[in-house]
Chain A
């Protein structure tokens, strides 16, 4: 009897170890994003002020890289918009809108770029092009989540290969395109 239990436990153990690889490979995506040098709220800009994503990330449909707006672009509005001197609940932490905008103006006076922290990172060694996906008619939210409703931006999806492949497989028009979309050289070179 004791032996059979031992045997069972061993087999279970091996199973756990192997599936361990599996879970290790799609660990859950971290929910809350990193704290940025300026508490920039996408919600205020995209939802309240109704600014479309492409206004700031202007290269998204012409370049592989969507582009982070230059400080000049920020100042384009914030020359005039000083911000109301009110507190704002920024995902739990209370911030003062005016003082946050003041930070931006501070950077501008010092002619210093704002050192944003990258939120959505591709794994290395893959060549992703925003242009193609936008031109194909995908919404930003499909990969980045509903950024418009986020204050602090956080990665909504873990952008790993499984994520790409699932989408590529679902959206292939015909067999030939599927072959192209699942061809390694399409992204890895």
Chain B
């Protein structure tokens, strides 16, 4: 396919941010920014849509609660065994179970949400990743048409990228 990936490596956050701004102005939308730690400025400048992990969380929690209710009530009515003078279905003790299941399934589906979401988009290829990103370097990966590669390289250079890698995706 004809899409090319161009990676610029930076040492400073502010420089990176400016580069992103510039690229955006030039009309390159398909950007990916690497950073050693989560960073508000990057989030701000990229302004991606709000993460949908929260829906996983919510539905997981609801599912959990439902399981809790169903589980406790159904099992105790399946074979009603009298203990003490308590009713067969007595809600107060069951709330504990319901609560715990809410949390359990809620948390698990959040994990699921995280794993699914952060992999929904194709991640950068090996060649487009630099180990220093996990140390102290920042990176911008621009995906663009073969004819735009030169332009992107110029922008990155002008914005003070220390290294530039180009590779077919």
**Residues of chain A having any CB pair with chain B under 8 Å:** 1, 3-4, 7, 182, 184
- Total A-B residue contacts, Cβ distance less than 8 Å: 10
Give 1 or 0 for each of B118-150: 1 = CB within 8 Å of chain A CB.
Answer: 010000000000000000000000000000000
- Check if A7 sits within 8 Å of B79, measured CB to CB: no
- Check if A3 sits within 8 Å of B115, measured CB to CB: yes
Chain B residues within 8 Å of chain A by Cβ, number: 6
Contacts of A7 in B (CB 8 A): 112, 115
Contacts of A4 in B (CB 8 A): 115-116, 119
- Check if B119 sits within 8 Å of A1, measured CB to CB: yes
Grouping DSSP codes into helix (H, G, I), strand (E, B) and loop, the B interface class, with mixed when no group exceeds half, is helix
Contacts of A184 in B (CB 8 A): 81
**Residues of chain B having any CB pair with chain A under 8 Å:** 79, 81, 112, 115-116, 119
- Check if B79 sits within 8 Å of A182, measured CB to CB: yes
- Check if A3 sits within 8 Å of B79, measured CB to CB: no
User: Closest residue of chain A to B119, judged by CB?
Assistant: A3
Given A7-B112, A182-B79, 8 other A-B residues pairs in contact with their CB atoms under 8 A: A1-B119, A3-B115, A3-B119, A4-B115, A4-B116, A4-B119, A7-B115, A184-B81
10 A-B Cβ contacts within 8 A? A1-B119, A3-B115, A3-B119, A4-B115, A4-B116, A4-B119, A7-B112, A7-B115, A182-B79, A184-B81
CB distance from A1 to the nearest CB of B (A): 7
User: Closest residue of chain B to A165, judged by CB?
Assistant: B79
Going nearest first, the 10 A-B pairs with the smallest beta carbon separation are A3-B115, A3-B119, A7-B115, A4-B116, A182-B79, A7-B112, A1-B119, A4-B115, A4-B119, A184-B81
CB distance from B1 to the nearest CB of A (A): 19
User: Closest residue of chain A to B81, judged by CB?
Assistant: A184
Q: What's the Cα separation between A59 and B79 when bound, in Å? A: 34
Q: What's the Cα separation between A3 and B81 when bound, in Å? A: 44
Contacts of B116 in A (CB 8 A): 4
Q: What's the Cα separation between A90 and B150 when bound, in Å? A: 91
Q: What's the Cα separation between A1 and B116 when bound, in Å? A: 8
User: Closest residue of chain A to B111, judged by CB?
Assistant: A7
CB distance from B22 to the nearest CB of A (A): 34
Q: What's the Cα separation between A7 and B115 when bound, in Å? A: 9
Contacts of A1 in B (CB 8 A): 119
Contacts of B79 in A (CB 8 A): 182
Contacts of A182 in B (CB 8 A): 79
Q: What's the Cα separation between A4 and B119 when bound, in Å? A: 9
Q: What's the Cα separation between A182 and B88 when bound, in Å? A: 15
